[in-house]
Each structure stands twice: as structure tokens, then as C-alpha cells.
A and B are shown apart, each in its own frame.
Chain A
Amino acid sequence: NAGVTQTPKFQVLKTGQSMTLQCAQDMNHEYMSWYRQDPGMGLRLIHYSVGAGITDQGEVPNGYNVSRSTTEDFPLRLLSAAPSQTSVYFCASSPDRGETQYFGPGTRLLVL
């Protein structure tokens, strides 16, 4: 199993551009989530999904959009990138709510 994979590993955007961060898992996990990590801080939840077709907001959802059309994939869309969105983004999955979460390697995003 590849576990949780994320692409790209690194991306540079200009303010106002849009892009999609990809996340995929091959463990048949129902629960998936997106976090961002800023320097010297822990992770903050952006959006999460409890199954295909079901998504909800986390702590810092503004400026991001998600959808979950399949169990395997959970892409994160930046609608109009801003410098405040410069961060490292982690995707995670778990078999169910309240269980261990498995994290991807992260995507480092720089918005100029």
C-alpha cells in the first residue's frame, strides 16, 4: 500500500492564481481531512470528509474548497491564492472518526 499520497510536493503561486492540491489514499478509509501547518505551530484543520459525497468545514476553511467524489481522493482547491495561504498542507485519512489518522508527506506552498 502506498498509504496517503500528495501531489505536488512543492508549488509556487502568484497572488490570485488558483490551484488544486491532490490527495489520495489506498486504504479504503472513510474519513479524510486537510490541515495546514504554519511555522512554529501545530496543524489546523481546514476541511474534512466522513465519506464520499460528504464534506464539512474545519477551523480555517476560508479560501479553500473541497469535494469528495470517491473514497480514494480528496482534493483541496485554492480559489484565489493569497500570501496568507503560504504554508505546508497535510492530508490525512483514517478508517473512521476517532481513530488513528495517517498523514501524507505534505505539500509546501509558497504564494508570492
Chain B
Amino acid sequence: SQQGEEDPQALSIQEGENATMNCSYKTSINNLQWYRQNSGRGLVHLILIRSNEREKHSGRLRVTLDTSKKSSSLLITASRAADTASYFCATDAGYGKLTFGQGTILTVHP
């Protein structure tokens, strides 16, 4: 079962614009993680946010978590062509077993 559901499924923007991706989940979590996957490659970890945190930043990335709404968002500011990739949220219910969503395909046009 896919616990995390990303929205939108695909996002196309121009370089320099901001990109926002959303993730909703169904059950209580210990933490939520965001990963990036370039075409044909493995996953790269972006940010881990724990259930008692509301917001985290890493460079141009900002992640928010609202446990009352069971949702998270990933904001990429000042996007670059190199940000073109698929982005996945993954929830951890506390046992280290990640449940992934279907992902958002982000295309950044130069």
C-alpha cells in the first residue's frame, strides 16, 4: 500500500521559479523523509523531518510537516535545470520501514 501520496504528479516550471510538492499520508508517523531520484539512478536523501518538528531547511529546500493534517510539503526555491528529477516522500511509522509515495516528476526548463 502507498501511504504517502504526492501532489501534483507532474510539475513543469521555468528556471528561477519556486517548486512546491505536497505529500499526504494516512497513519501516525515517527518521521517523514524526502528523496530525489534522477532518471535511471538511485535515490538521494534530501531531508528527514521528525514528527515533533514543523519545519526544516537545507540550502534551497524547505520542508514543512503538519501532523494534524497528515501532510508535508517540499519547497525548492530558485529552481535550476539540475533540479529536474522525481521527488518522493517516504513515511516511517517507527520501525524504520519506509513507505513511499508515487512521486512528483519535476521538470525545470532552462
Contacts from A to B (Cβ < 8 Å): 31, 33, 35, 40-45, 48, 50, 58-59, 90, 92, 94, 96-106
Contacts and interface: CB of A to CB of B under 8 A. Distances in A.
B99 A90 contact: no
Given A43-B98, A104-B42, 11 more contacts: A33-B96, A42-B88, A42-B90, A45-B97, A58-B97, A97-B92, A98-B31, A103-B42, A103-B44, A105-B42, A106-B41
29 contacts: A33-B97, A35-B98, A41-B102, A42-B2, A42-B101, A42-B102, A42-B103, A43-B43, A43-B90, A44-B100, A45-B97, A45-B98, A48-B96, A59-B1, A92-B43, A96-B96, A97-B92, A97-B94, A97-B95, A98-B92, A98-B94, A99-B48, A100-B33, A101-B33, A103-B44, A103-B45, A105-B41, A106-B41, A106-B42
A103 B45 CA distance: 8
